[in-house]
Structure 1
Amino acid sequence: MSRQQQVRQRAGTIEKNAIRLDIDKAELVVEALNIDLAAMYVLYHQLRKHHWNGSGPQYRELHLFWGEAAEEAEYSADEIAERIQALGGVPVSGPAMLEHHSPIPFEGEDVYDARTSMKNDLEAYGDIIESVSSHIDLSESVGDHATGEILRERLVKLEEFAHEMDHFLAHDSLTLWE
């Protein structure tokens, strides 16, 4: 059995695509999408951390919410990665590259109270919403309307979860117990 490895495509490169988007335009869109992909994975890991470590009087509701939000973030990441590949690019995938490309920082390993966790999540969602919105405009400005549509669908979900988080953070919820 041969142990020879052959690189099919180098990370950071763009190849011709079946979509027929010029390589220069595809490169701009892929670069933007890799930012959104990285952000989705950083968000996914943060949401999973909160899902695993949540506690308090609203534990069950928060546990389910964070689990659902994490699943949606993972689904969004997959959609974005598949679009990157369709455009002739290579989706970022390693932890170092995800952290490097993400516009949102990873919250870290510490465990926070539910309110702080939710505030951190809402802040991350706001940053991602801004990024995705600008990338819709970018993709459509170069004639890639399908990517714009994919990002619009992801944007709707991001805004829905951000809206729900805002409700969790209402003054009468997630009360700290001392």
Structure 2
Amino acid sequence: MSTQKTVRQQFDAVEQSEALRLDGDKAEQIIDALNTDIANAYVMYHQIKKHHWNVEGAEFNDIHELLGEAAETLEEGADEIAERAQAIGGVPIAGPTSQEDHATIEFEGEDVYDIRTSLANDMEAYGDIIEGMRDHIQLAANLGDPTTEHLLKEQLIEIEEDAHHIEHYLEDDTLVVESATN
């Protein structure tokens, strides 16, 4: 383990990039928004992975694969957003406690629910993430950062697609008949 104790950049400090020439105040606002998106992605990632591990029932395999892919999308998107936050002079949020504190969505907890409840919880969280990302896209546009705007739009397309696929599993039309005890 390294014995180096020199902090190169405080988490909440913004170092202006000479190459990108984004005003420090604007960069600070964008970095804060991006850190919220990173935090939301990781909270959602852990919830989706929990459902991926615990899904059961007749549609197990399809839902298991869908959730695995959705988790990958969230993780890859968080990485791209974190790299953008760093590029414009910020420190991407990294620790699980900080991510949970900074997120606008709440992890559903450790208990395991039936898959319909789990997917409904995912849909609620995805909706909150989507609304927040739309606000952040507008923020980036208003602050003159088309690169961040474009990046978030690309991420939003992926997230909306995953949310839409999950939404299909919550429709009434299914081959599985619920028992009278449910």
With over 3 angstroms needed to count, the CA separation of the structure-2 counterparts of 1:170 and 1:86, relative to structure 1, is same
CA deviations on 1:108-145 (whole Å, 9 max, x unpaired) are 00011110011011111110000000000001101001
Per the alignment, residue 165 of structure 1 pairs with 166
- How far 1:172 moved relative to its partner? 2.3
What number of residue pairs does the alignment pair up? 178
With over 3 angstroms needed to count, the CA separation of the structure-2 counterparts of 1:26 and 1:57, relative to structure 1, is same
- How far 1:52 moved relative to its partner? 0.6
Per the alignment, residue 43 of structure 2 pairs with 42
Per the alignment, residue 64 of structure 1 pairs with 65
Given the alignment of the two structures, is residue 155 of structure 1 paired with residue 156 of structure 2, yes or no? yes
- How far 1:175 moved relative to its partner? 5.2
Per the alignment, residue 4 of structure 2 pairs with 4
Per the alignment, residue 13 of structure 1 pairs with 13
How far, CA to CA, are the matches of 1:19 and 1:118 in structure 2? 41
- How far 1:2 moved relative to its partner? 7.3
With over 3 angstroms needed to count, the CA separation of the structure-2 counterparts of 1:124 and 1:21, relative to structure 1, is same
In the TM superposition, 1:127-146 aligns within 5 A as: 127-146=128-147
How far, CA to CA, are the matches of 1:2 and 1:169 in structure 2? 50
The letter of the residue matching 2:74 is: A
The letter of the residue matching 2:166 is: M
The normalised TM-score by structure 2 is 0.94
- How far 1:3 moved relative to its partner? 2.1
The normalised TM-score by structure 1 is 0.96
CA deviations on 1:62-115 (whole Å, 9 max, x unpaired) are 110100000000011001100000010001111111011101001100011110
How far, CA to CA, are the matches of 1:84 and 1:176 in structure 2? 47
- How far 1:24 moved relative to its partner? 0.5
CA deviations on 1:142-175 (whole Å, 9 max, x unpaired) are 1001000000001111111111111111102365
The runs of 5 or more residues in structure 2 that have no matched partner are none
How far, CA to CA, are the matches of 1:48 and 1:76 in structure 2? 15
RMSD over aligned CA atoms reads: 1.5
How far, CA to CA, are the matches of 2:78 and 2:112 in structure 1? 24
The letter of the residue matching 1:6 is: T
Per the alignment, residue 29 of structure 1 pairs with 30
The runs of 5 or more residues in structure 1 that have no matched partner are none
**Displacement over 6 Å in runs of 4+:** none
Q: Determine what percentage of the aligned residue pairs are the same residue.
A: 52
Per the alignment, residue 111 of structure 1 pairs with 112
How far, CA to CA, are the matches of 1:61 and 1:4 in structure 2? 48
The letter of the residue matching 1:15 is: E
- How far 1:16 moved relative to its partner? 1.2
How far, CA to CA, are the matches of 1:30 and 1:175 in structure 2? 48
